[in-house]
A and B are shown apart, each in its own frame.
Chain A
Amino acid sequence: MTVTIVMKHKKEKFADPPNFTEKKNYRPSDVKETGLVFVGHEVSEDRTAMNQFLHYDQLYTIRHGWNSKFFIGLLEGKIMGTRCPKCGDSWVPVRTHCWNLNCKLERTEWVEMPLTAKVHTWTVAGWSGRSSLKRLPIILVYAIIGTSKVAMANELHGMNPWDVEFEMPLKIVFKPKDQRVGAVTDFHFEPADFWKPSPMNPEKQRIKDLVTPVYEWVKTLK
């Protein structure tokens, strides 16, 4: 018996492919994208142990999809949040569907947030990942932007690390337009213009003592 399959309809697409017209490439020249390569080995003197060096260099594409407006907003110097039309909760970082179970994953709408925030909690980093070491010490804050129900992490610049305070008012400052990459590092927090640090106290002195060697150590890097 022969079975003939007839394709009655063209495969239906969920969405038309986006037409990417604005393209930028700022890949450093040392990103080789070599894939997997054995680049060396070592053998112990007694020839009982061996280590092998495997290099892997691979480019990833993060497809932001429904979250794209947030990252495009960064390119434009805006903080885009989302808001649930049913319960009114809003968020930065964004949620494309409401977190409230009663809202049954309601699709949210985009809202532009003010460029002001308030410190929820903070820390002063003296150590970090490989790509951040030279920027140490770093004040990292979790801050609430505008009406957001959640706090967002980012760096706080423009002040001594030991002066950071809970609840301190912040402004959001973007990098110059030509330096933006559409990532959260396009902006940082700075103290609001009207804010003044409080006088030195024992905790501030303790932080100052802890970060002093960090400044010295960073000078020795490369």
Chain B
Amino acid sequence: MSRKVCIIGGATTPFDYGPTGFESIEGGAAECVKETQQDVPGFSLRDLDLMIYSHFSVHFGHQLAPEWIIHDHLGLVGLPHYRVENGGNTGGSALYAAALAILSGRHDVVGVVGWETMDSVSQSQGSEFIALASDIRYELMVGGIYPIYYAAMANKWMKENHVTEEDVATIAVKNKNNAMDNPKAQWYRNDHKYITVEDVMNSRLISYPIKKLDCSLMSRGVAFLLVCSEEYAKKTNPDQYVTVDGMGLSSCTIRAGDRLNNPGWSERYGPGYPGMTEFAACRYSAEQAYKMAGIRDPLKDIDFGEIHDAFSTSEAQIYKALGLATEDTIVEFIRDERTSMHGDIPMNPGGGLLGYGHPVGATGLMSMIECYYQLAGMIPKKHLSKKTEVPNPECGIVNSHAGTGTSISNFILRRH
């Protein structure tokens, strides 16, 4: 394909639970666009020719088609717009849609706005709302909320791969401590402390083997990402644009229990895969993205990533699904701290969902934006120090993840 998809800017509001100072979604979106305009002075709202809105649950906002409020508020009447919803992978799917629009040749400058307002109900009510994205006929009332489903999957995965509670706790420690360098991160704004493996091990049980500090945060937040053709990128932000060289989107069953003998996966990867332990849609979408971007050895060819750490356990599972480690090497991979800032493939330098926060519709965009900042050399400007800057990165991966692994996208971004 001759056309290239580029990212030339983006910003988020602070992510938080309760007061952020950016409570109105349309006001938050406007501030994200303004920050992008400051970073990219050549960009005008008049240049946009399509808007894609990334929002998961109207249950939280109690407003159907809330994107219409934002779009109107941004002064974009007349411009085509629609909303993408795909669970926790809403942000990734919105970028996928924006990229398709540009690759098709129909559009040149696409704005993507994502948000979620999860603090509009209590935490336990919020957990139930999210659980409405399980198959409510079979899973809703059996104690079922997402951390429990993830715990059941992670428990078996950890046993089979000899990964311990302490091993995954190091991932929670890494991401929350990275977030301490990021003023927009919820962990920085609320808890505001450096933690240890012991803190994670002593935090309250959510669902064995997952404890409170192994979990991402329910959040309020808005994000804006500016996606465009290479021609527009060269004209508007020639020194700070990145190309989306690879992308993949894949799907799996809604109920995690339906993956033991699924013919769709048996055909691709052999009988028994993925079971209730592996994220097949992550593996498959990564393979598509790697092929498109010419990645042969992800561990060598990719410098860092922003990946979907809804739980510390799922980040570990994702390492394997991305092909960074195998059953034989995963324990060593984690214990050697390969994904910390001093490792060879830092993961979630921006704090990830565990540290930055997880306002679902904005989450995938936040991961893109952090990845973009790293590749565009903007970390010293956006983070508090250079501690969370990846040295001279050429290539980053962004991963967005939904359901119990029900929809997953991966993107390969390269510095230009």
Enumerate chain A interface residues (CB-CB to B < 8 A).
Answer: 49, 54, 56, 62, 64, 67, 71, 89, 93, 99-101, 120-133, 135, 137-138, 140-142, 144, 149-155, 166, 183-185, 206-207, 210-211, 213-214
Contact = CB atoms under 8 A, between A and B. Distances in A.
A57 to B, nearest CB: 12
Nearest to B59: A56
Nearest to A143: B257
Q: Select the residue from B153, B208, B259 with max chain A CB neighbours within 10 A.
A: B208
Given A100-B263, A140-B148, A124 B208 contact: yes
B149 A124 contact: no
A150 B260 contact: yes
Contact of B124 (A89, A124, A130, A141): A130
B34 interface: no
B381 interface: no
Contacts of A211: 205
B256 A93 contact: no
Given A123-B209, A125-B143, A138-B143, 13 more contacts: A121-B156, A122-B155, A126-B207, A127-B147, A127-B205, A128-B148, A131-B141, A140-B152, A142-B152, A151-B258, A151-B276, A153-B152, A155-B143
Given A122-B152, A127-B204, A133-B124, A183 B141 contact: yes
B207 A140 contact: yes
A124 B144 contact: no
B39 interface: no
B139 A153 contact: yes
A151 B137 CA distance: 15
B205 A128 contact: no
Nearest to B130: A129
Contact of B142 (A99, A140, A144, A206): A140
Contact of B137 (A67, A155, A207, A214): A67
Contacts of A133: 124
Contacts of B260: 120, 144, 149-151
A129 B149 CA distance: 12
A121 B276 contact: yes
B264 interface: yes
Contacts of A149: 260-261
B307 interface: no
10 contacts: A49-B23, A100-B263, A120-B257, A124-B205, A128-B124, A131-B141, A138-B148, A140-B142, A153-B142, A184-B141
Interface string B36-49: 00000000000000
B276 A142 contact: yes
B257 A128 contact: no
Interface string B143-163: 111011101110110010000
A62 B208 CA distance: 32
Interface residues of B, number: 50
Interface of B: 19, 23, 62, 122, 124-125, 127-128, 131, 135-139, 141-145, 147-149, 151-153, 155-156, 159, 165, 204-212, 255-264, 276-277
Contacts, number: 151
Contacts of A125: 143, 147-148, 151, 205-208
A120 B204 contact: no
A54 B61 CA distance: 10
Contacts of A137: 205
Contacts of B149: 153
B207 A152 contact: no
A150 B32 CA distance: 45
B135 to A, nearest CB: 7
**Residue with the highest number of chain B CB atoms closer than 10 Å, among A49, A141, A184:** A184
A123 B151 contact: yes
B301 to A, nearest CB: 34
Given A56-B62, A120-B276, A213-B204, A140 B144 contact: yes
A123 B263 contact: no
B141 A99 contact: no
Contacts of B153: 121
Nearest to A130: B124
B204 A126 contact: yes
B257 A151 contact: yes
A99 B205 contact: no
Contacts of B204: 126-127, 213-214
Contacts of B277: 121
A192 to B, nearest CB: 20
Contact of B155 (A123, A151, A152, A213): A123
Of listed A129, A141, A149, A211, residue having the most chain B CB within 10 A: A129
A127 B259 CA distance: 25
Contacts of A140: 142-144, 148, 152, 207
Contacts of B211: 210
Nearest to A136: B143
A99 B206 CA distance: 34
Nearest to B144: A153
A211 B208 CA distance: 9
